[in-house]
Structures are given as structure tokens and as C-alpha cells.
């Protein structure tokens, strides 16, 4: 008889623990069985790279938008829509110890009207994603001199 009480004593706390765990899991998911709305993914409408500086004082802009008919435009937009790009800091620059280097400002405009701007220069290490975005934008974008 004492063995039966012992087993019953273990089963009740286990059952209660399982019920509590289910309730907590349900509350964490919203509790109603409905899926919570996920924020919409960013959708780029344009990418602009402004390259300034250098020995000759360059001031050039390269723009990729819906007017650019290049099959790699989709790849560029995928890069700037990515979570990795969204987590980049605003600047990858440091003390300006090197002379005659180029300075880059990447500005991405999104469908919802927001934008993200990231700056860098040739003297500091930038994430590969950022340098790839600059290179591809310069390669396929429409070039505009000056502002």
C-alpha cells in the first residue's frame, strides 16, 4: 500500500508540471492558436552609392532602381533586403589617416518609404556584404556625376 501512495505522489506533480508547461507554451505563442503577424520583409526600390574623394576629388553617384534593366538587379536587391544588411552599423570609418582615399555612402530606399544609409571608406575594413553591394551597384547602376 505504501508503494501505491508513493507512485501516486509522483504522478500528480508530473501531471501538474505538464499542464503548467502547456499553459506557458500556449501563452508564449499568443494563447489563441492564431499565428502572430510577422513584420513585413524589407523590399528595396533603389540603391544609391555616392563615391567621393580620391586624388582628383571625385563626386559620382551610381543608382540602381526599376529603370535599370539588368538581371543582377534582383541579386542586389536581395542583398540589401537581407537581415545581414539590416544589422550593419551606420558607419565603417575611422580616423582619416590615409590620404586620397574614396569615401562611400550607400543609401537604400524601401517600398514602405524608409531608408538605410551605411558609410565606409577605403582605409577601414568593411563587411564583405557592404563591399559587394558597392561593387555591384557601381557595375550595373546608372552613373551620375556630381550632386
Phi, psi dihedral angles at 27 (to 5 degrees): -65, -40
Residue 46 contacts residue 63 (beta carbons within 8 Å): yes
Rounded Cα–Cα distance for residues 64 and 67 (Å) = 7
Query: How confident is the prediction along the chain (147 residues), in pLDDT tens digits per residue?
Result: 555 444 445 445 544 454 444 444 444 444 444 433 334 677 999 999 999 988 888 899 999 999 999 999 999 999 999 999 999 999 998 776 677 889 999 999 999 999 999 999 988 889 999 999 999 999 999 998 665
pTM of the model: 0.70
Residue 26 contacts residue 34 (beta carbons within 8 Å): no
- For 112, counting Cβ atoms within 10 Å of its Cβ (0-12 exposed, 13-18 middle, 19+ buried), the class is exposed
- Partners of residue 120 on adjacent β-strands: 92, 104
CA atoms lying within 13 Å on the CB side of residue 8: 5
CA atoms lying within 13 Å on the CB side of residue 123: 13
The residue assigned the cell 524589407 is 42
If we measure between CA atoms, which residue out of 74, 108, 68 comes closest to residue 90?
108
Amino acid at each position: 500500500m505504501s508503494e501505491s501512495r508513493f507512485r501516486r505522489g509522483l504522478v500528480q506533480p508530473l501531471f501538474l508540471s505538464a499542464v503548467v508547461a502547456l499553459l506557458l507554451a500556449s501563452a508564449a505563442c499568443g494563447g489563441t492558436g492564431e499565428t502572430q503577424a510577422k513584420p513585413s520583409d524589407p523590399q528595396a526600390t533603389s540603391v544609391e552609392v555616392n563615391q567621393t574623394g580620391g586624388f582628383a576629388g571625385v563626386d559620382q553617384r551610381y543608382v540602381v532602381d526599376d529603370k535599370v534593366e539588368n538581371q543582377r538587379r534582383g541579386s542586389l536587391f536581395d542583398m540589401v533586403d537581407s537581415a545581414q544588411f539590416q544589422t550593419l552599423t551606420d558607419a565603417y570609418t575611422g580616423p582619416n589617416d590615409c590620404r586620397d582615399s574614396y569615401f562611400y555612402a550607400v543609401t537604400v530606399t524601401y517600398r514602405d518609404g524608409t531608408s538605410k544609409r551605411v558609410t565606409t571608406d577605403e582605409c577601414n575594413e568593411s563587411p564583405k556584404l557592404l563591399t559587394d553591394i558597392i561593387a555591384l551597384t557601381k557595375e550595373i547602376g546608372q552613373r551620375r556625376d556630381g550632386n
